[in-house]
Amino acid sequence: MIKIYHNPRCSKSRNGLEIIKESGKNFEIVSYLENTPSKEELKQLLNLLNINAESLIRKNEAVWKENFKGKDLTEEQLIEAMVKFPKLIERPIVTNGKKAVIGRPPEKISEII
């Protein structure tokens, strides 16, 4: 099952959702700002994406600059920051079985659907 971690206010996320809809395949939308992934879910996503936590963080967000920028944080602390402040999570993330991509650019989503 295809799953998109979606923020409807983000144009890249909306474009990614359109790509999935156009595929005609079944999918699930996770509104991650309301239904924040747990630490375990984030660890699974990082594993599927084959990246570290820092690579999943949106560093231009005010909450990052105000609370975390310039600090030497562990992987665990970065994951905890994303759970506490889900706005920090890069978007959209799309999973399909054992594959996942960050949809930037949104066309990358086509690689796994």
Q: Could you check whether the bond before residue 92 is cis, i.e. omega within 30 degrees of 0?
A: yes
Q: Are 52 and 75 in contact (CB under 8 A)?
A: yes
Given 2.60.120.260, 3.40.30.10, 3.40.50.150, 3.40.140.10, which CATH number is that of 2-111?
3.40.30.10
Tokens of 108: 């990358």
In a structure prediction context, what are the per-residue pLDDT tens digits for the chain, which is 113 residues long?
999 999 999 999 999 999 999 999 999 999 999 999 999 999 999 999 999 999 999 999 999 999 999 999 999 999 999 999 999 999 999 999 999 999 999 999 999 99
Q: How far apart are CA 97 and CA 67, in angstroms?
A: 34
* Residue pair 27/20 in contact by the 8 Å Cβ criterion: yes
pLDDT reported for residue 98: 96
**Which residues touch 61 (CB under 8 Å, ≥6 apart)?**
85, 87, 88
Q: Which residues are catalytic?
A: 10
